[in-house]
Structure 1
Protein backbone atom coordinates (compact mmCIF):
# COMPACT_ATOMS: atom_id res chain seq x y z
CA UNK A 1 0.00 0.00 0.00
CA UNK A 2 1.07 3.58 -0.59
CA UNK A 3 2.65 5.19 2.44
CA UNK A 4 0.88 8.28 3.72
CA UNK A 5 3.51 10.73 2.47
CA UNK A 6 3.45 9.39 -1.10
CA UNK A 7 -0.35 9.29 -1.07
CA UNK A 8 -0.43 12.93 0.03
CA UNK A 9 1.83 14.17 -2.77
CA UNK A 10 -0.28 12.30 -5.34
CA UNK A 11 -3.46 13.58 -3.70
CA UNK A 12 -2.21 17.18 -3.90
CA UNK A 13 -1.18 16.76 -7.54
CA UNK A 14 -4.57 15.32 -8.48
CA UNK A 15 -6.34 18.22 -6.80
CA UNK A 16 -4.07 20.80 -8.44
CA UNK A 17 -4.43 19.37 -11.94
CA UNK A 18 -8.03 18.12 -11.97
CA UNK A 19 -9.88 19.54 -8.98
CA UNK A 20 -10.69 16.00 -7.81
CA UNK A 21 -10.62 15.86 -4.02
CA UNK A 22 -9.30 12.37 -3.23
CA UNK A 23 -10.16 11.67 0.38
CA UNK A 24 -8.09 9.82 2.96
CA UNK A 25 -8.56 6.06 2.89
CA UNK A 26 -8.30 5.85 -0.93
CA UNK A 27 -4.70 4.65 -0.93
CA UNK A 28 -5.55 1.21 -2.35
CA UNK A 29 -7.77 2.73 -5.03
CA UNK A 30 -5.05 5.12 -6.15
CA UNK A 31 -2.39 2.42 -6.14
CA UNK A 32 -4.57 0.14 -8.27
CA UNK A 33 -5.32 2.88 -10.79
CA UNK A 34 -1.74 3.97 -11.32
CA UNK A 35 -0.40 0.42 -11.21
CA UNK A 36 -1.22 -0.39 -14.84
CA UNK A 37 0.39 2.82 -16.05
CA UNK A 38 3.52 2.12 -13.97
CA UNK A 39 3.83 -1.33 -15.54
CA UNK A 40 3.43 0.12 -19.02
CA UNK A 41 6.42 2.41 -18.57
CA UNK A 42 8.49 -0.06 -16.53
CA UNK A 43 8.33 1.43 -13.05
CA UNK A 44 7.68 -0.52 -9.89
CA UNK A 45 7.62 2.16 -7.20
CA UNK A 46 4.89 4.83 -6.78
CA UNK A 47 7.62 7.20 -5.60
CA UNK A 48 9.53 6.63 -8.84
CA UNK A 49 6.35 7.23 -10.81
CA UNK A 50 5.74 10.53 -9.01
CA UNK A 51 9.30 11.60 -9.86
CA UNK A 52 8.64 10.58 -13.47
CA UNK A 53 5.51 12.74 -13.47
CA UNK A 54 7.44 15.64 -11.97
CA UNK A 55 9.92 15.52 -14.86
CA UNK A 56 7.14 15.44 -17.49
CA UNK A 57 7.91 18.47 -19.65
CA UNK A 58 5.26 18.20 -22.37
CA UNK A 59 2.36 17.14 -20.15
CA UNK A 60 1.71 13.88 -21.99
CA UNK A 61 2.30 11.68 -18.95
CA UNK A 62 0.12 13.94 -16.82
CA UNK A 63 -2.74 13.34 -19.27
CA UNK A 64 -2.18 9.58 -19.02
CA UNK A 65 -2.10 9.86 -15.23
CA UNK A 66 -5.40 11.78 -15.12
CA UNK A 67 -6.91 9.24 -17.51
CA UNK A 68 -5.93 6.52 -15.04
CA UNK A 69 -7.39 8.13 -11.95
CA UNK A 70 -10.61 9.50 -13.49
CA UNK A 71 -13.87 7.74 -12.67
CA UNK A 72 -15.99 7.08 -15.75
CA UNK A 73 -19.31 5.51 -14.77
CA UNK A 74 -21.98 6.24 -17.34
CA UNK A 75 -24.76 4.72 -19.41
CA UNK A 76 -27.31 5.70 -22.01
CA UNK A 77 -30.28 7.66 -20.61
CA UNK A 78 -28.94 7.62 -17.06
CA UNK A 79 -31.43 9.44 -14.81
CA UNK A 80 -34.14 9.31 -17.52
CA UNK A 81 -36.31 12.03 -15.97
CA UNK A 82 -33.77 14.59 -17.19
CA UNK A 83 -34.31 13.55 -20.78
CA UNK A 84 -38.07 13.80 -20.33
CA UNK A 85 -37.63 17.38 -19.11
CA UNK A 86 -35.25 18.10 -22.00
CA UNK A 87 -37.93 16.91 -24.43
CA UNK A 88 -40.65 18.99 -22.78
CA UNK A 89 -38.60 22.20 -22.80
CA UNK A 90 -37.41 21.65 -26.37
CA UNK A 91 -41.02 21.33 -27.51
CA UNK A 92 -42.06 24.47 -25.62
CA UNK A 93 -39.22 26.61 -26.95
CA UNK A 94 -39.65 25.25 -30.49
CA UNK A 95 -43.37 26.08 -30.36
CA UNK A 96 -42.41 29.68 -29.56
CA UNK A 97 -40.23 29.90 -32.64
CA UNK A 98 -36.76 29.01 -31.39
CA UNK A 99 -34.80 27.19 -34.11
CA UNK A 100 -31.23 27.22 -32.73
CA UNK A 101 -30.23 25.04 -29.78
CA UNK A 102 -26.85 24.69 -28.08
CA UNK A 103 -26.28 22.01 -25.44
CA UNK A 104 -23.21 21.18 -23.33
CA UNK A 105 -22.54 17.75 -21.82
CA UNK A 106 -19.82 18.87 -19.42
CA UNK A 107 -18.66 15.45 -18.17
CA UNK A 108 -19.46 13.39 -21.24
CA UNK A 109 -17.25 10.39 -20.40
CA UNK A 110 -17.35 7.82 -23.23
CA UNK A 111 -20.24 9.53 -25.01
CA UNK A 112 -23.40 7.87 -23.77
CA UNK A 113 -24.77 11.10 -22.27
CA UNK A 114 -24.30 13.43 -25.28
CA UNK A 115 -25.57 10.73 -27.64
CA UNK A 116 -28.64 10.28 -25.40
CA UNK A 117 -29.15 14.04 -25.64
CA UNK A 118 -28.77 13.92 -29.43
CA UNK A 119 -31.27 11.05 -29.74
CA UNK A 120 -33.76 12.95 -27.60
CA UNK A 121 -33.37 16.05 -29.75
CA UNK A 122 -33.69 14.09 -33.00
CA UNK A 123 -36.77 12.29 -31.68
CA UNK A 124 -38.39 15.58 -30.59
CA UNK A 125 -37.64 17.99 -33.42
CA UNK A 126 -37.80 17.84 -37.20
CA UNK A 127 -34.06 18.21 -37.63
CA UNK A 128 -34.35 19.70 -41.12
CA UNK A 129 -35.79 22.84 -39.54
CA UNK A 130 -33.41 23.29 -36.60
CA UNK A 131 -29.78 24.21 -35.96
CA UNK A 132 -28.58 21.93 -33.15
CA UNK A 133 -25.05 21.55 -31.82
CA UNK A 134 -24.03 19.49 -28.79
CA UNK A 135 -20.64 19.80 -27.09
CA UNK A 136 -19.31 16.84 -25.12
CA UNK A 137 -16.29 17.44 -22.88
CA UNK A 138 -14.21 15.38 -20.47
CA UNK A 139 -10.78 15.51 -18.86
CA UNK A 140 -9.94 11.96 -20.00
CA UNK A 141 -8.53 11.60 -23.50
CA UNK A 142 -9.09 7.86 -23.28
CA UNK A 143 -12.87 8.07 -22.89
CA UNK A 144 -13.11 10.88 -25.45
CA UNK A 145 -11.48 8.61 -28.03
CA UNK A 146 -14.14 5.99 -27.38
CA UNK A 147 -16.87 8.63 -27.52
CA UNK A 148 -15.79 9.83 -30.94
CA UNK A 149 -16.01 6.28 -32.30
CA UNK A 150 -19.58 5.84 -31.04
CA UNK A 151 -19.25 2.04 -30.83
CA UNK A 152 -20.56 0.22 -27.77
CA UNK A 153 -21.04 -3.26 -26.44
CA UNK A 154 -24.72 -4.22 -26.45
CA UNK A 155 -24.46 -4.57 -22.64
CA UNK A 156 -23.66 -0.84 -22.43
CA UNK A 157 -27.05 0.16 -23.80
CA UNK A 158 -28.48 0.23 -20.28
CA UNK A 159 -31.73 2.16 -20.34
CA UNK A 160 -31.60 3.02 -24.05
CA UNK A 161 -35.23 2.67 -25.20
CA UNK A 162 -35.83 -0.01 -27.80
CA UNK A 163 -37.22 2.40 -30.39
CA UNK A 164 -34.08 4.55 -30.05
CA UNK A 165 -31.92 1.47 -30.61
CA UNK A 166 -33.81 0.71 -33.81
CA UNK A 167 -33.89 4.30 -35.05
CA UNK A 168 -30.43 5.54 -34.15
CA UNK A 169 -28.00 2.59 -33.95
CA UNK A 170 -26.88 -0.23 -36.19
CA UNK A 171 -24.75 -3.36 -35.84
CA UNK A 172 -21.00 -2.76 -35.87
CA UNK A 173 -18.53 -5.06 -37.59
CA UNK A 174 -17.65 -6.80 -34.32
CA UNK A 175 -20.33 -9.20 -33.00
CA UNK A 176 -22.49 -7.88 -30.13
CA UNK A 177 -21.32 -4.32 -30.74
CA UNK A 178 -23.47 -1.50 -32.05
CA UNK A 179 -22.60 1.85 -33.60
CA UNK A 180 -24.44 5.12 -33.11
CA UNK A 181 -25.69 6.35 -36.48
CA UNK A 182 -23.82 9.13 -38.24
CA UNK A 183 -26.91 11.38 -38.18
CA UNK A 184 -26.66 11.34 -34.36
CA UNK A 185 -22.87 11.49 -34.13
CA UNK A 186 -22.83 14.51 -36.45
CA UNK A 187 -24.72 16.55 -33.85
CA UNK A 188 -21.97 16.09 -31.25
CA UNK A 189 -18.46 17.56 -31.06
CA UNK A 190 -16.05 16.28 -28.41
CA UNK A 191 -13.26 18.25 -26.74
CA UNK A 192 -11.00 17.86 -23.71
CA UNK A 193 -11.78 20.29 -20.90
CA UNK A 194 -10.70 20.36 -17.26
CA UNK A 195 -13.78 21.39 -15.28
CA UNK A 196 -11.65 22.57 -12.36
CA UNK A 197 -10.09 25.43 -14.36
CA UNK A 198 -12.76 27.96 -15.38
CA UNK A 199 -13.33 30.25 -17.15
CA UNK A 200 -13.96 27.93 -20.07
CA UNK A 201 -13.17 28.89 -23.68
CA UNK A 202 -16.69 28.46 -25.07
CA UNK A 203 -18.61 31.62 -25.87
CA UNK A 204 -22.10 30.27 -25.25
CA UNK A 205 -24.84 30.89 -24.62
CA UNK A 206 -26.06 27.34 -24.00
CA UNK A 207 -29.73 26.45 -23.75
CA UNK A 208 -29.01 23.37 -21.64
CA UNK A 209 -26.01 22.20 -19.63
CA UNK A 210 -25.70 18.66 -18.29
CA UNK A 211 -23.10 18.60 -15.51
CA UNK A 212 -24.03 15.39 -13.76
CA UNK A 213 -22.28 13.14 -11.26
CA UNK A 214 -18.96 14.95 -11.44
CA UNK A 215 -19.27 17.64 -8.76
CA UNK A 216 -19.34 14.94 -6.08
CA UNK A 217 -15.59 14.60 -6.65
CA UNK A 218 -14.92 18.31 -6.09
CA UNK A 219 -14.68 20.34 -2.90
CA UNK A 220 -16.83 23.43 -2.45
CA UNK A 221 -14.18 25.81 -3.83
CA UNK A 222 -13.86 24.00 -7.17
CA UNK A 223 -17.60 23.24 -7.31
CA UNK A 224 -18.64 26.84 -6.80
CA UNK A 225 -16.27 28.13 -9.49
CA UNK A 226 -17.60 25.52 -11.92
CA UNK A 227 -21.25 26.30 -11.24
CA UNK A 228 -20.60 30.04 -11.52
CA UNK A 229 -19.03 29.67 -14.96
CA UNK A 230 -21.84 27.42 -16.13
CA UNK A 231 -24.19 30.21 -15.03
CA UNK A 232 -22.20 32.65 -17.16
CA UNK A 233 -22.45 30.38 -20.20
CA UNK A 234 -26.17 29.60 -19.88
CA UNK A 235 -28.67 31.84 -21.62
CA UNK A 236 -31.24 33.60 -19.41
CA UNK A 237 -33.78 30.91 -18.61
CA UNK A 238 -31.33 28.15 -19.60
CA UNK A 239 -31.52 24.79 -17.85
CA UNK A 240 -28.82 23.09 -15.75
CA UNK A 241 -29.05 19.37 -14.97
CA UNK A 242 -26.90 17.95 -12.15
CA UNK A 243 -26.71 14.47 -10.60
CA UNK A 244 -29.45 13.39 -8.21
CA UNK A 245 -26.87 13.03 -5.42
CA UNK A 246 -25.60 16.58 -5.98
CA UNK A 247 -26.87 19.96 -4.77
CA UNK A 248 -26.43 23.68 -5.37
CA UNK A 249 -27.12 24.72 -1.79
CA UNK A 250 -23.81 26.60 -1.45
CA UNK A 251 -23.90 28.00 -4.97
CA UNK A 252 -22.66 31.63 -5.20
CA UNK A 253 -24.95 32.47 -8.16
CA UNK A 254 -28.71 32.28 -8.38
CA UNK A 255 -30.62 29.45 -9.98
CA UNK A 256 -34.31 28.66 -9.66
CA UNK A 257 -35.07 25.06 -8.72
CA UNK A 258 -37.43 23.39 -11.22
CA UNK A 259 -37.18 19.93 -9.69
CA UNK A 260 -34.51 18.21 -7.60
CA UNK A 261 -31.31 18.23 -9.70
CA UNK A 262 -32.88 20.51 -12.36
CA UNK A 263 -32.25 24.27 -12.23
CA UNK A 264 -33.02 27.32 -14.35
CA UNK A 265 -30.89 30.42 -14.71
CA UNK A 266 -32.94 33.46 -13.83
CA UNK A 267 -34.28 35.45 -16.76
CA UNK A 268 -36.73 35.06 -19.60
CA UNK A 269 -36.80 31.29 -20.10
CA UNK A 270 -38.11 31.67 -23.62
CA UNK A 271 -35.30 33.95 -24.68
CA UNK A 272 -33.04 32.59 -27.42
Structure 2
Protein backbone atom coordinates (compact mmCIF):
# COMPACT_ATOMS: atom_id res chain seq x y z
CA UNK A 1 0.00 0.00 0.00
CA UNK A 2 2.75 2.45 0.94
CA UNK A 3 4.73 1.45 -2.13
CA UNK A 4 1.74 2.25 -4.33
CA UNK A 5 1.32 5.68 -2.75
CA UNK A 6 5.02 6.40 -3.18
CA UNK A 7 5.10 5.42 -6.84
CA UNK A 8 1.93 7.33 -7.81
CA UNK A 9 3.51 10.80 -7.39
CA UNK A 10 6.50 9.68 -9.46
CA UNK A 11 4.37 8.26 -12.26
CA UNK A 12 2.09 11.30 -12.07
CA UNK A 13 5.02 13.67 -12.48
CA UNK A 14 6.35 11.66 -15.42
CA UNK A 15 3.00 11.69 -17.22
CA UNK A 16 2.51 15.40 -16.52
CA UNK A 17 5.95 16.33 -17.85
CA UNK A 18 5.43 14.10 -20.89
CA UNK A 19 2.13 15.81 -21.72
CA UNK A 20 3.60 19.26 -21.14
CA UNK A 21 6.76 18.77 -23.20
CA UNK A 22 5.24 16.80 -26.08
CA UNK A 23 2.09 18.91 -26.15
CA UNK A 24 3.88 22.25 -26.08
CA UNK A 25 6.39 21.10 -28.68
CA UNK A 26 3.62 20.01 -31.07
CA UNK A 27 1.19 22.88 -30.43
CA UNK A 28 3.50 25.81 -29.66
CA UNK A 29 7.27 25.41 -29.87
CA UNK A 30 7.69 23.80 -33.30
CA UNK A 31 4.96 25.85 -35.08
CA UNK A 32 6.37 29.06 -33.61
CA UNK A 33 9.87 28.05 -34.66
CA UNK A 34 8.73 27.70 -38.27
CA UNK A 35 6.65 30.87 -38.15
CA UNK A 36 9.66 32.86 -36.99
CA UNK A 37 11.36 32.22 -40.33
CA UNK A 38 8.23 33.38 -42.16
CA UNK A 39 8.11 36.56 -40.08
CA UNK A 40 11.80 37.19 -40.72
CA UNK A 41 11.50 36.81 -44.49
CA UNK A 42 8.10 38.47 -45.08
CA UNK A 43 7.93 40.88 -42.11
CA UNK A 44 4.39 39.67 -41.56
CA UNK A 45 2.65 37.07 -39.41
CA UNK A 46 -0.20 36.53 -41.86
CA UNK A 47 -3.78 37.72 -41.93
CA UNK A 48 -5.64 38.74 -38.80
CA UNK A 49 -8.07 36.20 -37.41
CA UNK A 50 -10.43 39.08 -36.63
CA UNK A 51 -10.70 40.24 -40.22
CA UNK A 52 -8.94 37.94 -42.63
CA UNK A 53 -8.77 39.81 -45.93
CA UNK A 54 -12.05 41.72 -45.50
CA UNK A 55 -11.93 45.50 -45.74
CA UNK A 56 -14.22 46.03 -42.74
CA UNK A 57 -15.83 44.01 -39.93
CA UNK A 58 -19.04 42.18 -40.86
CA UNK A 59 -22.34 43.49 -39.59
CA UNK A 60 -23.41 41.93 -36.27
CA UNK A 61 -25.26 38.72 -37.05
CA UNK A 62 -25.46 35.05 -36.16
CA UNK A 63 -23.63 34.22 -39.39
CA UNK A 64 -20.75 36.51 -38.40
CA UNK A 65 -20.64 34.80 -35.01
CA UNK A 66 -20.50 31.33 -36.58
CA UNK A 67 -17.85 32.33 -39.11
CA UNK A 68 -15.60 33.78 -36.43
CA UNK A 69 -16.18 30.85 -34.07
CA UNK A 70 -15.22 28.44 -36.84
CA UNK A 71 -12.04 30.33 -37.75
CA UNK A 72 -11.07 30.85 -34.12
CA UNK A 73 -11.81 27.25 -33.19
CA UNK A 74 -9.63 25.91 -35.99
CA UNK A 75 -6.80 28.16 -34.85
CA UNK A 76 -6.81 27.34 -31.13
CA UNK A 77 -8.52 23.98 -30.58
CA UNK A 78 -5.26 22.08 -30.15
CA UNK A 79 -3.99 24.57 -27.58
CA UNK A 80 -7.35 24.47 -25.81
CA UNK A 81 -7.23 20.67 -25.55
CA UNK A 82 -3.69 20.93 -24.21
CA UNK A 83 -4.80 23.56 -21.69
CA UNK A 84 -7.58 21.29 -20.44
CA UNK A 85 -5.20 18.32 -20.20
CA UNK A 86 -2.66 20.34 -18.23
CA UNK A 87 -5.26 22.08 -16.07
CA UNK A 88 -6.74 18.76 -14.99
CA UNK A 89 -3.33 17.11 -14.67
CA UNK A 90 -2.19 19.85 -12.28
CA UNK A 91 -5.03 18.83 -9.97
CA UNK A 92 -4.56 15.06 -10.23
CA UNK A 93 -1.02 14.13 -11.25
CA UNK A 94 1.03 16.67 -9.29
CA UNK A 95 1.08 16.44 -5.48
CA UNK A 96 -1.17 19.16 -4.04
CA UNK A 97 1.46 20.34 -1.58
CA UNK A 98 3.90 21.09 -4.43
CA UNK A 99 1.63 23.72 -6.00
CA UNK A 100 0.90 25.24 -2.59
CA UNK A 101 4.59 25.32 -1.69
CA UNK A 102 5.79 26.90 -4.96
CA UNK A 103 2.88 29.19 -5.83
CA UNK A 104 0.79 29.33 -2.68
CA UNK A 105 2.65 31.92 -0.65
CA UNK A 106 1.75 35.59 -0.77
CA UNK A 107 5.30 36.88 -1.17
CA UNK A 108 7.04 37.96 -4.36
CA UNK A 109 8.63 34.51 -4.71
CA UNK A 110 5.30 32.92 -5.64
CA UNK A 111 4.68 35.68 -8.20
CA UNK A 112 8.15 35.23 -9.69
CA UNK A 113 7.64 31.46 -9.88
CA UNK A 114 4.30 31.89 -11.64
CA UNK A 115 5.74 34.29 -14.20
CA UNK A 116 8.79 32.14 -14.90
CA UNK A 117 6.76 28.94 -15.21
CA UNK A 118 4.54 30.71 -17.75
CA UNK A 119 7.32 31.53 -20.21
CA UNK A 120 7.67 28.04 -21.78
CA UNK A 121 3.87 27.78 -22.11
CA UNK A 122 3.52 30.50 -24.76
CA UNK A 123 -0.28 30.17 -24.57
CA UNK A 124 -2.89 32.82 -25.14
CA UNK A 125 -4.88 33.83 -22.08
CA UNK A 126 -7.92 31.75 -23.08
CA UNK A 127 -5.92 28.53 -23.46
CA UNK A 128 -3.89 29.17 -20.31
CA UNK A 129 -7.07 29.75 -18.29
CA UNK A 130 -7.76 26.03 -17.62
CA UNK A 131 -4.27 25.66 -16.19
CA UNK A 132 -4.87 28.67 -13.95
CA UNK A 133 -8.13 27.09 -12.80
CA UNK A 134 -6.17 23.98 -11.88
CA UNK A 135 -3.52 25.96 -10.03
CA UNK A 136 -6.10 27.89 -8.03
CA UNK A 137 -7.89 24.64 -7.18
CA UNK A 138 -4.62 23.49 -5.65
CA UNK A 139 -4.32 26.71 -3.63
CA UNK A 140 -1.92 28.74 -5.75
CA UNK A 141 -1.95 32.32 -4.50
CA UNK A 142 -3.96 34.89 -6.50
CA UNK A 143 -0.78 36.76 -7.44
CA UNK A 144 1.06 33.63 -8.51
CA UNK A 145 -1.89 32.49 -10.62
CA UNK A 146 -2.27 35.91 -12.26
CA UNK A 147 1.45 36.06 -13.02
CA UNK A 148 1.21 32.65 -14.69
CA UNK A 149 -1.92 33.60 -16.63
CA UNK A 150 -0.61 36.92 -17.95
CA UNK A 151 2.96 35.71 -18.40
CA UNK A 152 1.93 33.06 -20.93
CA UNK A 153 0.94 35.68 -23.49
CA UNK A 154 2.63 38.90 -22.37
CA UNK A 155 6.08 37.32 -21.91
CA UNK A 156 5.72 34.90 -24.82
CA UNK A 157 9.23 34.70 -26.38
CA UNK A 158 7.78 33.86 -29.79
CA UNK A 159 5.61 36.98 -29.76
CA UNK A 160 8.63 39.12 -28.92
CA UNK A 161 10.53 37.60 -31.85
CA UNK A 162 7.60 38.09 -34.23
CA UNK A 163 7.24 41.71 -33.15
CA UNK A 164 10.94 42.28 -33.72
CA UNK A 165 10.78 41.02 -37.28
CA UNK A 166 7.46 42.66 -38.17
CA UNK A 167 7.33 45.92 -36.19
CA UNK A 168 10.94 46.44 -35.13
CA UNK A 169 13.02 45.38 -32.16
CA UNK A 170 12.34 48.64 -30.33
CA UNK A 171 8.71 47.58 -30.07
CA UNK A 172 9.75 44.16 -28.76
CA UNK A 173 11.87 45.83 -26.10
CA UNK A 174 8.97 48.09 -25.11
CA UNK A 175 6.60 45.13 -24.85
CA UNK A 176 9.12 43.20 -22.75
CA UNK A 177 9.58 46.09 -20.32
CA UNK A 178 5.85 46.76 -19.99
CA UNK A 179 5.18 43.02 -19.81
CA UNK A 180 7.59 42.51 -16.92
CA UNK A 181 5.98 45.37 -15.04
CA UNK A 182 2.50 44.05 -15.74
CA UNK A 183 3.11 40.38 -14.92
CA UNK A 184 5.23 40.73 -11.80
CA UNK A 185 3.91 44.10 -10.63
CA UNK A 186 0.25 43.21 -10.94
CA UNK A 187 0.80 39.77 -9.42
CA UNK A 188 2.62 41.26 -6.44
CA UNK A 189 -0.04 43.95 -6.01
CA UNK A 190 -2.80 41.34 -5.96
CA UNK A 191 -0.95 39.29 -3.35
CA UNK A 192 -0.61 42.38 -1.18
CA UNK A 193 -4.40 42.38 -0.81
CA UNK A 194 -4.33 38.82 0.53
CA UNK A 195 -4.67 38.85 4.31
CA UNK A 196 -2.85 36.53 6.70
CA UNK A 197 -6.17 34.89 7.49
CA UNK A 198 -6.70 34.17 3.78
CA UNK A 199 -3.21 32.68 3.57
CA UNK A 200 -3.80 30.43 6.60
CA UNK A 201 -7.13 29.29 5.19
CA UNK A 202 -5.52 28.45 1.85
CA UNK A 203 -2.75 26.50 3.59
CA UNK A 204 -5.33 24.51 5.53
CA UNK A 205 -7.28 23.76 2.36
CA UNK A 206 -4.11 22.57 0.65
CA UNK A 207 -3.48 20.12 3.50
CA UNK A 208 -7.03 18.79 3.28
CA UNK A 209 -6.81 18.43 -0.50
CA UNK A 210 -3.56 16.48 -0.16
CA UNK A 211 -5.09 14.16 2.43
CA UNK A 212 -8.09 13.44 0.17
CA UNK A 213 -5.99 12.37 -2.82
CA UNK A 214 -6.73 8.67 -2.64
CA UNK A 215 -7.53 6.04 -5.23
CA UNK A 216 -6.14 5.68 -8.71
CA UNK A 217 -4.51 8.93 -9.79
CA UNK A 218 -5.30 8.45 -13.48
CA UNK A 219 -8.99 7.75 -12.85
CA UNK A 220 -9.11 10.94 -10.78
CA UNK A 221 -7.42 12.82 -13.62
CA UNK A 222 -10.03 11.69 -16.17
CA UNK A 223 -12.85 12.67 -13.81
CA UNK A 224 -11.41 16.16 -13.32
CA UNK A 225 -10.79 16.52 -17.07
CA UNK A 226 -14.41 15.64 -17.83
CA UNK A 227 -15.73 18.14 -15.27
CA UNK A 228 -13.53 20.94 -16.59
CA UNK A 229 -14.47 20.25 -20.21
CA UNK A 230 -18.20 20.21 -19.46
CA UNK A 231 -17.94 23.48 -17.55
CA UNK A 232 -15.44 25.51 -19.59
CA UNK A 233 -16.09 24.59 -23.23
CA UNK A 234 -19.69 25.93 -23.31
CA UNK A 235 -18.52 29.15 -21.63
CA UNK A 236 -15.81 29.59 -24.23
CA UNK A 237 -18.23 28.90 -27.06
CA UNK A 238 -20.66 31.57 -25.85
CA UNK A 239 -17.90 34.18 -25.47
CA UNK A 240 -16.43 33.42 -28.91
CA UNK A 241 -19.84 33.67 -30.57
CA UNK A 242 -20.51 37.00 -28.86
CA UNK A 243 -17.12 38.36 -29.91
CA UNK A 244 -17.63 37.20 -33.48
CA UNK A 245 -21.05 38.79 -33.70
CA UNK A 246 -19.94 42.08 -32.13
CA UNK A 247 -16.74 42.65 -34.11
CA UNK A 248 -18.21 45.62 -35.96
CA UNK A 249 -18.95 47.34 -32.64
CA UNK A 250 -15.77 46.36 -30.81
CA UNK A 251 -13.29 46.87 -33.67
CA UNK A 252 -14.96 49.28 -36.11
CA UNK A 253 -11.74 50.49 -37.74
CA UNK A 254 -9.84 47.23 -38.19
CA UNK A 255 -8.97 46.24 -41.73
CA UNK A 256 -6.62 43.81 -43.45
CA UNK A 257 -3.74 46.27 -42.95
CA UNK A 258 -3.96 46.07 -39.16
CA UNK A 259 -0.41 44.67 -38.84
CA UNK A 260 1.05 47.74 -40.49
CA UNK A 261 -0.95 50.31 -38.55
CA UNK A 262 1.19 52.36 -36.18
CA UNK A 263 -1.85 52.90 -33.96
CA UNK A 264 -2.02 49.18 -33.25
CA UNK A 265 1.69 48.79 -32.58
CA UNK A 266 1.43 50.38 -29.16
CA UNK A 267 -1.59 48.24 -28.35
CA UNK A 268 0.37 45.14 -29.37
CA UNK A 269 2.97 45.99 -26.76
CA UNK A 270 0.42 45.49 -24.00
CA UNK A 271 -1.73 42.70 -25.44
User: What is the TM-score when the length of structure 2 is the normalising length?
Assistant: 0.29
If asked which structure has higher relative contact order (CA below 8 Å, sep 6+), I would say 2
Task: Give the helix-richer structure, 1 or 2.
Answer: 2
Structure that is richer in strand per residue: 1
